[in-house]
Structure 1
């Protein structure tokens, strides 16, 4: 299945995206995480298309060829997504799928503008308040890179001369995944053109704007939401606490065996089918955007 490279002129600049799938299907927006970009997920995007989705997957703010200038607070990232929805799917709510940082943005979009989201799926990222409430030693060991990225000059770790740490993170986070060399080279090219902007997501965690996001996320999420998490995730542990109070609408959590952090890249057909099955069981009617 072919995907075309398209652009959207949004308030923050010209955002690039892959677009394809069923031209008459359910509009589905897929948000990537760190350190990633849409082309690595092409097999997953194609599987969504085969299941009746019209798919668009943007390079997020901070990832070339989309704008690499900040700010990188959650309100700004959420604003980009809402502006893209308004441009791409005016008058119709979308299915929103987010991995890693794209998952964090997905939660915030759901509480900021629930009328724009028909249903949502997060991959490899618990509800942010649930994640923060689990300061287990095993998770702290996995989150060491977040502290490193706070240090001045840490951009050298992913400089044009050295992407070894980025490759190490991929191997550590998804131990069973061997990324195709051509896809890895394409990802390296994007990260070389983008750094240090992707690291600024993590620096934004300690800024005042994140407090506003935490206040928004204290509201229960009414949008129907499915959480998928790899059992072998070396980046973020599957949650161990009951956080059903954070969801006011239909909700499910599934821990997927034999996959790691990049579960949709490791098992694109299986993850796409879990998402489709969730949609069939939930049977939510299409929603219209009001206002």
Structure 2
């Protein structure tokens, strides 16, 4: 009998997790970004459950009250990825489909690169492979990512963002989040005490960690990007294909901004299901081993730049 998880441990830390859907369903791990929590998946998960999948959505390091270390080095990508492996171990899951948005996508890329034996497929939303992101910096991405440098300043970002969340009722909407998610930012991030840990992800970006070194992934992968995303530009999105040495699909959502799980849940669920279904078709099984194969990149039928376009 499958035991439902509400929490799992890794070392001294305890993480909260939302475990839902059919208990015996094929597992999909849903990884949130910044400033989000597991609740960002609440419009996506029901479709996955309806199709027979079990979802596990953790409040990640810095967000779960029991997992908020104060040292910068505790937030390197290798640690964040190891947390996901600990979740799989706690749930007794050998391999799972991994889905991540924003920073959760970066964690997903890192899990797939470092622990390919634990990943059946990867669906990354909004943020491309870290290697593609870095290579896009000279092609305009640096102007979209200026805030990452600002977040390196100690203490001040927490104070300014925290004050804005408390005093500006439309803070979430100004970020582009739809309701009801926009109104939750203050309570789920600011009031909950999660903001310092959430910023820790950015502050650990430049710390040396061999587990965080960008390397190609070799699991079947879908990358979904909205062409109105102000945080991630087309150069980074198009370069992503060069970092996947397996079947790969690039889906462009015309007119979509950064917040895909909240604003475009049907498109996100469809992309996840298509990736998982393709895996089943190719392997004849569920979340089991598959032989990596170089694939082609596609854009959504509605149009948009293809992954083969030049940056």
Residue of structure 2 in register with 1:227 after alignment: 223
Q: How does 1:137-216 map to 2 (within 5 A)?
A: 138-154=140-156, 155-159=158-162, 161-163=163-165, 168=171, 171-172=174-175, 174=176, 177-180=177-180, 183-192=181-190, 193-209=193-209, 212-214=211-213
Residues 137, 115 of structure 1: alpha-carbon distance in 2 compared, 3 angstrom cutoff: closer
Cα shift at 1:268:
0.9
Structure 1 residues 29-51: Cα deviation after superposition (integer angstroms, max 9, x where no partner): 00000011111321112222122
Q: How does 1:209-288 map to 2 (within 5 A)?
A: 209=209, 212-214=211-213, 217-218=214-215, 220-238=216-234, 239=236, 241-282=238-279, 283=281, 284=283, 285-287=285-287
Residues 165, 66 of structure 1: alpha-carbon distance in 2 compared, 3 angstrom cutoff: farther
Cα shift at 1:23:
2.2
TM-score of the superposed pair, with normalisation by structure 2:
0.81
Q: Cα RMSD (Å) of the superposition? A: 2.4
- Unaligned regions of 5+ residues in structure 1, if any? none
Structure 2 residue corresponding to 1:72, chosen from 59, 75, 85: 75
Residues 5, 156 of structure 1: alpha-carbon distance in 2 compared, 3 angstrom cutoff: farther
Q: Secondary structure at the match of 1:208?
A: coil
CA distance in 2, matches of 1:105, 1:170: 26
- Unaligned regions of 5+ residues in structure 2, if any? 290-311
CA distance in 1, matches of 2:241, 2:268: 22
Structure 1 residues 201-245: Cα deviation after superposition (integer angstroms, max 9, x where no partner): 111112112x5412xx32x31111110111111111233544534
Cα shift at 1:141:
2.6
Aligned: 1:60 with 2:60 = yes
Q: How does 1:77-156 map to 2 (within 5 A)?
A: 77-90=80-93, 92-136=94-138, 138-154=140-156, 155-156=158-159
Count of aligned pairs = 275
Cα shift at 1:97:
0.3
Residues 132 and 237 in structure 2, CA contact (< 8 A), matched pair in contact too: no
